[in-house]
A and B are shown apart, each in its own frame.
Chain A
Amino acid sequence: MLVPIFTLNFKHKVNPHMVTIGKYDGIHSSLTCATTAGKVFIHNPHNRAERGGLMTFSNEGDLSLLSINQQVSAVCAGKLNPNIQNDILAVGTPTNLLVYDIDKNTDLFYKDTPDGTNAIVIGNLGTIDKPIAIVGGNCSLQGFDQDGNERLWTVTGDNVCSLALVDFNNNGQNQLIVGSEDYDIRVFREDEIIAEMTETETITCLCHMTDSRFGYALSNGTVGVYDRAARFWRIKSKNQAISIHGFDLDSDGVPELITGWSNGKVDARSDRTGEVVFKDNFPNAVAGIVQGDYRHDGTEQLICVSVEGEVRGFNPASDEMRGNLMDTNVEQDTIRELSQRKQNLQMELRNYEENIKAGTAASTILQSRAAAGGGGGGGPVSAEKLFPPGVEYNKTQMGIIPASTQLQTTLTVNEGDETKPPHVELFIATSNDTIVRAILIFAEGIFEGESHVVHPPASSLSNVMKVPIIPPKDVPVDLHIKAFIGYKSSGQYHVFELTRQLPRFSMYAVCDTNTPQPKSSCVFHVSERMQRVLMWLNQNFLLQTDLVAEGGILNVAFMSLRGAGPLMFQMDAAGQITIRTNDMDLAGDIVQALATFLNQEDLQTTVDFPDEMEKLREVLVKVDEYQAVRQKLTAEMADHSNLIRSMVVRAEDARLMGDMHNMRKGYVELYNMNRDLVNGYKIRCNNHQELLSALKQVNQVIQKAGRLRVGKYKTAVINACRAAIKNNNVNALFKIIKTGAA
C-alpha cells in the first residue's frame, strides 16, 4: 500500500480545477492554486531551505498571495520563453488573461479576452515555432506567444471547457485537443480540425497520457481513455471527476490515469483496462492533481490538492511494490472469483436439466401417440411447437420459446400528432405469439443516462413494441437493443441482443418537392458520379424506399422533424449540388458528412443565408452598443469609487478624532453611495452578460460559416472572418461568409 510521502495543509480554500505547478525560479517547484476572493497563492517552501536550517513542510510564511482582483477562472504555469528556464504563470479571469513572471514580479502581458477564459494550456502547438499560451473561451480559441502577439485564433462549436496538448497523430508535433459544452472533443492541428469525437456530456477535463493516448472526464461522472479517435475504456461514477492526470504511479513504465473525484476519492486506473490499481480518500472534494519534483530529490511526485487546501504527495511505487499497489489478498480474491463461477455454472446446469425434462416429456407424448396409432386428438408436435396444445406442462417456470423465434426491428420516421412530438420510431416485433416483455436500449447521446428501458404493464403486453426516439443531434448512433422475449406468464425470459444503426440524418421525413423553397441555400460543386451521392443519401437518411435520380437530376425534399423547416437537396448532371435550408448548422453538417463520404479534402462553397446574416448584423450592432455603454458605466464606477475612498478617509478621520457625529454622517453618506455603486454594478453585470452572449453568437456564426467549407477553405474562412471583425469591417464579414474569401 502506498502512503503519502508528505502532507500539508494550506489553510486556504482551493478552487476546483485551478491547481498548477511551476518552477518560477527555474529550479524549485511551487504549487500554485486559485483561492477565493480573486487571489492566487503560491507555495514555495524552498526559499526557506536556501536560507539555511532544516526543511520542514509547514505553511507558515511559505505562501505568497497574488491579488488578481477578479474572479479567477483558470491558472496554468509553463515555459513561454524557450530560452529561459523559468516558468511563468498565466491567470485567466472572465475578461482577461494575465501572464506574469513571478520571479521578476513583472507582467509579460495583459490581454483582454472578451470571450472569457475557461481553460489555459501552455506549450508548443504544431508548426508554431514558439511555445504559446492557448486560451479557450466561449466558442473561441486564442494563442499568445511570450510578447502577447496573437499566434492562433479559431472558433469551436461551443464554450470550451478543457484543453490538452497531445501528439494525436504521432507526427512529433502537438495537436490541441478541445473539450466543449456541446459534448464534442475536437482535435486541432493549429487552426484546422482533424478529428471530432462526440461524447455524451460536457467534457470537463482532458489530460495527456502517452504518445497519442489521452484521458478525458465528463460532467456526468464518466472518465475514460482515448487512443487517437478510438476509445479504450470508460467507466461511470455517480460522483464527478474534478481532475485527471496521467502519472506512472506503480512504476510499470506506463502512466496510469489518476482521477480526483468530487467526493474526495483519488484513484489510479490502468490506462489499458481501467482497472483500479490504487486509491486514497480525502475528507473533501479534490481540487486538482499535478506532478512535480516537490522534495527536490530528483523524482517526480504525484501531488493531490483538496478544496480545503489539504495536500498529499505520493512517490511512485518502489521496486518491490511494482504493479501491486492495492493491499489486497490474492487468495481471498481468487476464492471469491471461483465461487462466483461455480454458482453461475450450477445455474446453467439446472437450466439444462429442465430442458431435458421437457424434452423427455415431449418424447413420451410422441411415443404414446405413435402407440395410439397415428395422430388423432392432439395437435402436431414439431420442433417449432414444442408443446402441443392440450399437453399440460408447467410453461411458466420453463420460459421456453420456440427456437425459430425471430425479432424484427424497423426504424421509421413518425411525423407525430397532437399528443406526440415528431420522432423516429423503433418498431420491434417477434415473429410469433411470444411477447416482448421489456426492452433495454443502450445508445450514447440520445437518452439521459445513455440507456432507456421500456417495460409496459403486464396488461398491455404484445408481440410488438414501439419506442419513440428523438436524437438531439444529427450524429450516427449505434442502438444496442436487448429485448426480453417470452410468454405472458413466463418467469424467465430470453434475451435477444441486436445492434441497429441510427443514420445520421434520421430526423428528416421525405416530403413533396413542391413545398415552398427555403430562402437560404448552399451551393458547391463535386466531381463525383450521382450514384455515389445517391448512395450517401440512402445511407444517411431514414428512407422507406431507396431514392433514384430521374432524368439525370436529383431533387429531393425533406421536412425537419425538429421544426427547422424544409430541407431540399438538388444535384444536376454537372455535379453542382444545392442544399436549401434555413438552418445553417444543418447545411454545415450535410457538407461535412458528404465531404467525408466522398473523400473531398477541400471544398469551397457559396452560401446565402439572408436570415442568419440579418441576425448577425443585429448582433453586431448590439455588440457596439453594449461596448459603448460598458465604457461609460466603467468610467462612472471608477469615479464613484474615488468618491467612496475619500469618504472612507474622511469618516475614519472623524473616528480617530472622536467626532462621532461627523463620523456617523460620513458613514451614512458612504452607505448610500455604496448602494448606488452596487446598483450600478448590477446594471454593468447584466450588460456584460448580454455582451458575452452576443459575442458568443458571433463566434458561432463564424464557426457555422467554417463548417460550410472543408479543409483549407474552412481555415481560410475563419481567419478572414477574424480579420474582418478585428478591423470592424461588417460588410467584408458578410462577403466572406457568403463567398468564402475576402
Chain B
Amino acid sequence: MDPLFLACSYFRRRKYQQCVDICTQLLEKNPYDQAAWTLKTRALTGQVYVDEVDVDEEGIAEMMDDNVIANCARPGTSLRLPGTGHGVPSQGVRPMSQSGRPLSGFVRPGTQGGRPGTMEQAIRTPRTAHTARPVTSASGRYVRLGTASMLSTPDGPFINLARLNFSKYATRPNLAKALFEYIFHHENDVRNALELAALATEACQFKDWWWKVQLAKCYFRLGMYRDAEKQLKSALKQQEMVDTFLYLCKVCVRLDQPLLAVEIYKQGLEKFPGEITLLAGMARIYEGMNNMDSAVSYYKDVLRFDNMHVEAIACIATHHFYTDQPEVALKFYRRLLQMGVYNAELFNNLGLCCFYAQQYDMTLNCFERALSLGEEQTLSDVWYNIGHVALGIGDMTLAYQCFRLTLANNNDHPEAYNNLGVLELRKGHVDMARAFFQAAYVIAPHMYEPHYNWAALSDQLGDLQSSYNAAKRAVDAFPNHVDSKELLKQLKHHFSLL
C-alpha cells in the first residue's frame, strides 16, 4: 500500500502517532515532500488540539489588566457583580461559589475559581490541583492542556520556527494554514503564529475570513481584545460562521459586556437558528449574571434542538433541585443516567434528590454507587453529602464520622469543618467547635455560615468584639441573612449602652 495513503487513513482515524511515524519515514527519504510535511504537521497538531472556544480561563495575572470599561456597572449589566438576579433562590438555599455566584450544574472553566477582589486575595486563594487557575492565560494551563511544547522530542523539534521564512509560507495557503495551526496549538508560540497570520492575510488581500479569525485568536491570547474584536467583526462581514460568533462573544465576556454578548448571540441565532452552541452560550451568560429564569429557558431551548445536551440537562436539574423540586430534578438526572453518563457526581446528585424526594430506599444505594465510582476529590463531596443525609435522619454519630471521612479525603473542605463545628458544639466541646469554625471561615471567606456560627458562639461566650466582627463578615457575604443582622443589631444596642 502507498505509505502516504496509509498515513492519510491513519490521520482520518485519528491514529496520529502512527501517521506521524509514517510521515517521518517519508520525509527522511524525500525532505521536500510537501504532502507528507503537511500531513505530519496536521497530525502533530491533532494530537494536542483543544478547541479554542471552550478554553477560556482568566489567569490570576489578568487581574492586573483593566480590560473592563465600567468598574461598577449598573446591576444586571456586568458579569463581575452578579448582584440581584431574577429567580435565584437565596444564598441560604443555594450555596454560592467563591465568586458570589450560585453553584452551577456543570463545571466549566472559570466556574470554580471565581474572581476575588484583589490580587493578594487571588494569590492567597489555595491553588491546589483541583481549584488552580493558570497564572496567565498565555502560560500555565494552556501549556498543560493543549500544547506539546513542554514535551521534549528526541531529535530536535520537527519544525524550527526560528529558521522559518514566514513570508514564503504565507503566500502558499495550503501549507500556511497547517503551519499556523501547528505553531499555535503545538508550539504554543503565539507571537510567531501572529506574524504568520498577519503575513498570510495580507498575501490573500484580506479576503480570507479564516485568517482573520486566526489573527483574532492570537490577539485574544495576547490580551489584545480590541484588536481581536476588530478582526472578528471584519471576518463576520465576509463569512458568517458559528465559530466566529462564539469567539466574538468570548471577547465581549472578557470586556465584561454580557449584554453585548447576548446581542451577538442573538444575531448569530438569526443566521443559524437553533444552533445549540449559541443557545448554550446565551444560557451561560444569563447564569453568570444570576438571571436564572432566562438561563433555564435558554437551556430548555437547547434541549428542544438537542435533547442529549448534558450541560443543559444538568443545569436545569440543579435549578429544580435548589428551587425545592427534587422530584423534577430527579427526572432530569435519570435522563442523564439513561444517556450513559455514569459517574460519581451523578449518583451523588441522584442520591440527594432521592433523599429530598423521600425515596429513602434508593438514597443509600445511590451513594454506595457514587463511593464505588468516585476518586479522591469527589469522594470527599460524596461523604459530605452522606453526612448531610445522616444529619437529616438524626444519626449524629454517622454524620460525625462522615464529615471526618470527608476531611480525610480533602482537608480543605470548609462545609465539613463548619458542620463538624456545629456537631462539636452540640456535644458541648466549645473549644473544638471554635477551632472548626475558624478553620472553615479561613478556607472559605465567601460562606456566611461559619462567620455567623462563630459570631453566635462568641456572643454566648461574651467575646463581643469578635462576635461583632464575625457578624459583619457574615452580612458582607450574605446581606439578607436575617439572623446575622439581628445579632448585629443586638450587639450595636449593647455597645451603645456601654
Contacts from A to B (Cβ < 8 Å): 64-69, 96, 98, 100, 102-107, 110, 112, 631-632, 634-636, 638-639, 641-642, 645-646, 648-650, 652-653, 656
Find B77's partner among A104, A110, A634 (CB 8 Å cutoff): A104
Which of B71, B195, B198 interacts with A67 by CB under 8 Å?
B71
Q: Is the CB of B69 within 8 A of A642?
A: no
Residue of A nearest to B119 (CB): A652
Asked if B194 lies at the interface with its beta carbon under 8 angstroms from chain A, I say yes
17 A/B residue pairs, CB under 8 Å, sorted by A: A65-B71, A67-B68, A100-B69, A103-B74, A103-B77, A104-B77, A105-B69, A105-B70, A106-B263, A631-B198, A635-B194, A635-B218, A636-B191, A645-B135, A646-B135, A646-B138, A652-B123
Q: Is B498 an interface residue (CB 8 A)?
A: no
Considering the chains assembled together, what is the distance between the CA atoms of A100 and B255 in angstroms?
A: 12
Q: Given A105-B257, A110-B229, A646-B139, A632–B71 Cβ distance below 8 Å?
A: no
> How far is it, in angstroms, between the C-alpha of A515 and the C-alpha of B64 when the chains are bound?
68
A642 engages B223 (CB within 8 Å): yes
Query: Contacts A646-B135, A649-B123 known; A107 to B194 CB distance under 8 Å?
Result: no
Q: Is the CB of A64 within 8 A of B72?
A: yes
CA gap between A240 and B265 in the complex, in Å: 50
**Contacts known (A103-B74, A105-B70, A635-B195); A642 close to B139, Cβ less than 8 A:** yes
Interface of chain B residues 334 through 374 with chain A (CB within 8 A): none
User: 5 tightest A-B contacts by CB?
Assistant: A645-B61, A638-B222, A105-B77, A106-B260, A105-B73
Asked whether B136 is an interface residue with its Cβ less than 8 Å from the other chain, the reply is yes
Contact of A646 among B61, B69, B124, B222 (CB under 8 A): B61
Taking the closest CB of chain A, its distance from the CB of B67, in whole angstroms, is 8
| Cβ contact of B120, chosen from A103, A636, A652, cutoff 8 A | A652
Q: Nearest Cβ in chain A — how far from B282, in angstroms?
A: 15
Q: Are A638 and B66 in contact (CB under 8 A)?
A: no
Q: Assess whether A646 is in contact with B136, with CB atoms less than 8 Å apart.
A: yes
Q: List residues of B (52-96) whose CB comes within 8 Å of A's CBs.
A: 59-62, 64-74, 77-78
Interface contact B70-A66, CB-CB below 8 Å = yes
- Residue of B64, B67, B140 most packed against chain A (CB within 10 A): B64
**A64 contacts across to B, CB distance below 8 A:** 70-73
A638 to B60, CA, bound (A): 17
Known contacts A104-B77, A107-B260, A652-B120: A645-B69 contact under CB 8 Å: no
The residue in chain B whose Cβ has the minimal distance to the Cβ of A108 is B260
- Whole-angstrom distance between the alpha carbons of A634 and B219 in the complex? 10
Considering the complex, give the chain B residue whose CB is closest to the CB of A653.
B123
- A67–B225 CA distance with the chains assembled, in angstroms: 14
The residue of chain A having its C-beta at the shortest distance from the C-beta of B225 within the complex is A110
**CB-contact partner of A105 in B60, B64, B259, under 8 A:** B259
- Chain A residues contacting B255 (CB-CB under 8 Å) are 107
The residues of A that contact B230 with a CB separation of less than 8 Å are 110, 112
Q: Are A67 and B66 in contact (CB under 8 A)?
A: yes
CB contacts (< 8 Å) of B198 on chain A: these are 631
Q: Say if the beta carbon of B181 comes within 8 Å of chain A.
A: no
CA distance A638 to B228 in the complex (A): 13
CB-defined contacts of B139 to chain A, threshold 8 Å: 642, 646
List chain A residues, Cβ under 8 A from B136: 642, 645-646, 649
Instruction: Assess whether B191 is in contact with A635, with CB atoms less than 8 Å apart.
Output: yes
Q: A67, B69: Cβ atoms under 8 Å?
A: yes
Q: Is B64 within 8 A of A638, CB to CB? A: no
Q: Is B190 an interface residue (CB 8 A)?
A: yes
Q: Which residues of B contact A634 (CB under 8 A)?
A: 224, 227
Taking a contact as CB atoms under 8 Å apart, the answer to whether B191 and A104 are in contact is no
B256 at the interface (CB under 8 A from A): yes
State the CA gap A79–B237 with chains docked (Å): 26
With both chains docked as a complex, state the minimum distance between the C-beta of B126 and any C-beta of chain A, in angstroms: 12
* Interface assignment of B226: CB less than 8 Å from any CB of chain A: yes
What is the minimal beta-carbon distance from A32 to any residue of chain B, in angstroms?
Answer: 12
State the Cβ distance, B78 to closest chain A Cβ, in Å.
Answer: 6
Interchain nearest-CB distance for A291 vs B (Å):
25
Q: Which residues of B209-241 are within 8 A (CB) of A?
A: 218-219, 222-224, 226-227, 229-230
List A contacts of B229 (CB < 8 A): 110
| A110→B69 contact, CB < 8 A | no
B224 x A650 contact (CB < 8 A) = no
- Does the CB pair B191–A656 fall under 8 Å? no
Whether the pair B135, A650 counts as a contact (CB closer than 8 A) is: yes
Per-position 1/0 for B393-418, Cβ under 8 A of A: 00000000000000000000000000
When C-beta atoms are compared, the residue in chain B nearest to A642 turns out to be B138
Q: B73 contacts which chain A residues (CB < 8 A)?
A: 64, 105
Contact call A645/B191, Cβ cutoff below 8 A: no
Most chain A CB neighbours (cut-off 10 Å) among B59, B61, B139, B194 = B61
Would you call B123 and A639 a contact (CB within 8 A)? no
Q: Which residues of B contact A106 (CB under 8 A)?
A: 77, 257, 259-260, 263
Task: Find chain A residues with CB under 8 A from B78 CB.
Answer: 105
* Residue of A66, A96, A100, A656 touching B123 (CB-CB under 8 A): A656
The residues of A that contact B74 with a CB separation of less than 8 Å are: 102-105
State the CA gap A638–B138 with chains docked (Å): 10
Closest Cβ of chain B to A17, distance in Å, is 21
Which chain B residue lies CB-closest to A647? B61
Partner of B69, one of A66, A112, A636: A66
Pair A639/B222 contact, Cβ less than 8 Å: yes
Give Cα A283 to B218, complex, Å: 50
A657 to chain B, nearest CB (A): 10
Chain B residues with Cβ below 8 Å from A100 are 69
Q: Bound state CA distance, A229 and B263, in angstroms? A: 47
> Bound state CA distance, A330 and B73, in angstroms?
54
- Closest-CB distance, A85 to chain B (whole angstroms): 16
The residue in chain B whose Cβ has the minimal distance to the Cβ of A655 is B123
Given contacts A104-B77, A632-B195, contact A645 B62 (CB under 8 A): yes
Q: Please, what's the 1-or-0 string for B167-189, where 1 marks a CB less than 8 Å from any CB in chain A? A: 00000000000000000000000
Contacts of B109-151 to chain A: CB distance below 8 A: 119-120, 123-124, 135-140
Question: What CA separation (Å) do A262 and B195 show in the bound complex?
Answer: 48
Distance in Å: Cβ of A676 to nearest Cβ of chain B:
15
Q: Is A656 in contact with B124, judged by CB distance below 8 angstroms?
A: yes
Contact A635-B222, Cβ < 8 Å, known A646-B136, A649-B135, A650-B135: yes
**Cα distance A66–B194 in the bound complex, in angstroms:** 30
Q: Report the Cα distance A317→B66, complex, angstroms.
A: 45
A64 to B73, CA, bound (A): 8
**Extra A-B contacts (13), CB below 8 Å, given A69-B67, A107-B260:** A64-B73, A67-B68, A103-B77, A104-B259, A110-B230, A636-B191, A638-B223, A641-B223, A645-B65, A646-B61, A646-B140, A652-B123, A653-B123
Cα distance A105–B258 in the bound complex, in angstroms: 8
Q: How far is the CA of A634 from the CA of B257 in the complex (A)?
A: 25
Min CB gap A559→B, angstroms: 48
User: Within the complex, which residue of A69, A102, A105, A638 is in contact with B256, where a contact is CB–CB below 8 Å?
Assistant: A105
Does B190 lie within 8 Å of A639, measured CB to CB? yes
A650 to B198, CA, bound (A): 32
Chain A residues near B137: list those with CB within 8 A.
Answer: 642
Q: Which of B70, B77, B263 has the most CB of A within 10 A?
A: B70
B65 partner residues in chain A, CB cutoff 8 A: 645
Which residue of B is nearest A96, CB measured? B226
Bound-state Cα–Cα, A67 to B255, Å = 11
Q: How far is the CB of A635 from chain B (nearest CB, A)?
A: 5
Residue of A nearest to B64 (CB): A645
The answer to whether A645 touches B123, judged by C-beta atoms less than 8 angstroms apart, is no
Q: In the complex the two chains form, what is the Cα distance from A104 to B69 in whole Å?
A: 12
Q: How far is the CB of B131 from chain A (nearest CB, A)?
A: 15
Give bound CA distance, A656 to B222, whole Å. Answer: 28
Q: Please report the C-alpha to C-alpha distance between residue A204 and residue B153 in the assembled complex, in whole angstroms.
A: 64
Complex Cα gap A650–B202 (Å): 39
A649 near B60 with CB under 8 A, answer: yes
How near does chain B come to A37, taking the closest CB pair, in angstroms?
A: 10
| Other-chain residue from B59, B218, B257 in contact with A645 (beta carbon distance below 8 A) | B59
Residue of B nearest to A42 (CB): B70
CB distance from B134 to the nearest CB of A (A): 9
